[in-house]
Amino acid sequence: MTASASVSRLRLRQPDDWHLHLRDGAMLAAVTPETTRHFGRAIIMPNLVPPVVTSDQAAAYHARILAARPEGSAFEPLMTLYLTEGSQPEDLRRGVECGLIKAVKLYPAGATTNSESGVRDFDKAMPVLETLAELGVPLCVHGEVTDPDIDIFDREAVFIDRVLDPLRRRLPHLRVIMEHVTTRQGVDYVRSAEQGLAATLTTHHLIINRNHLLVGGVKPHYYCLPVAKREEHRLALVAAATSGDGRFFLGTDSAPHATHNKEAACGCAGIFTAPNTMSCLAHVFEAEGALDKLEAFTSLSGPAFYGLPANEAWLTLVKRPEPVSYPARVSVAEGQTVTVFDPGFPLFWDVESIMPS
Q: Which residues, at least 6 apart from 106, have a Cβ–Cβ distance to it below 8 Å?
A: 83, 118, 119, 125, 139, 140, 141, 142
Q: Which of 160, 219, 215, 186 is nearest to 339 (CA)?
A: 219
* Angle 165-167-169 from CA coordinates, rounded to 5°: 70
* Amino acid 353: pLDDT: 86
In the chain, the percentage of residues whose pLDDT exceeds 70 is: 97
According to DSSP, residue 191 is labeled H
* Amino acid 1: pLDDT: 47
Contact between residue 61 and residue 98 where contact means Cβ atoms under 8 Å apart: no
Contact between residue 159 and residue 118 where contact means Cβ atoms under 8 Å apart: no
In a domain, 4, yes or no: no
Q: Report the 3 state secondary structure along 81-106.
A: EECCCCCCHHHHHHHHHCCCEEEEEE
CA distance 42 to 35: 9
User: In this structure, are strands 349-355 and 314-319 parallel, antiparallel, or unpaired?
Assistant: antiparallel
CA distance 180 to 186: 10
269-288 confidence digits (pLDDT tens): 999 999 999 999 999 999 99
- Give 207's strand partners: none
- What secondary structure does DSSP assign to 272-317, as a single string? B-TTTHHHHHHHHHHHTT-GGGHHIIIIIHHHHHHT-PPPSSEEEE
Confidence bin at 347 (pLDDT 50/70/90) = very high
Which residue type, as a one-letter code, is found at position 55? S
Q: Does the bond joining 50 to the residue before it have cis omega, within 30 degrees of 0?
A: yes
In a domain, 335, yes or no: no
Contact between residue 80 and residue 46 where contact means Cβ atoms under 8 Å apart: yes
66-105 confidence digits (pLDDT tens): 999 999 999 999 999 999 999 999 999 999 999 999 999 9
CA distance 147 to 128: 24
* Amino acid 6: pLDDT: 60
**Torsion over CA: 332, 338, 340, 344 (sign):** positive
How many domains does the structure of the chain reveal?
1
17-44 confidence digits (pLDDT tens): 999 999 999 999 999 999 999 999 999 9
Give the Cβ contact number of residue 150 at 10 Å: 15
Give the Cβ contact number of residue 140 at 10 Å: 26
In terms of residues, how long is the chain?
357
In a domain, 357, yes or no: no
**pLDDT score of 351 more than 70:** yes
CA distance 15 to 43: 12
- Higher-confidence residue of 163 and 2: namely 163
Write down the pTM of the prediction.
0.96
Contact between residue 305 and residue 249 where contact means Cβ atoms under 8 Å apart: yes
* Amino acid 192: pLDDT: 97
In a domain, 9, yes or no: no
User: Could you tell me the CA-to-CA distances from 354 to 68, 71, 103, 275 in Å, in that order?
Assistant: 20, 16, 27, 15
- Give 177's strand partners: 140, 198
CA distance 53 to 174: 20
Q: Domain range spanning residue 167?
A: 15-310
- What secondary structure does DSSP assign to 5-68, as a single string? TTS-EEEEEPP-EEEE---SHHHHHHHHHHHHTT-SEEEEP---SS---SHHHHHHHHHHHHHH
In a domain, 344, yes or no: no
The catalytic site residues sit at 253
In a domain, 91, yes or no: yes
In a domain, 122, yes or no: yes
Average pLDDT over residues 311-316: 97
In a domain, 181, yes or no: yes
101-151 confidence digits (pLDDT tens): 999 999 987 767 766 778 888 899 999 999 999 999 999 999 999 889 999
**pLDDT score of 4 more than 60:** no
Average pLDDT over residues 237-249: 98
In this structure, what CATH number is given to the domain that contains residue 139?
3.20.20.140
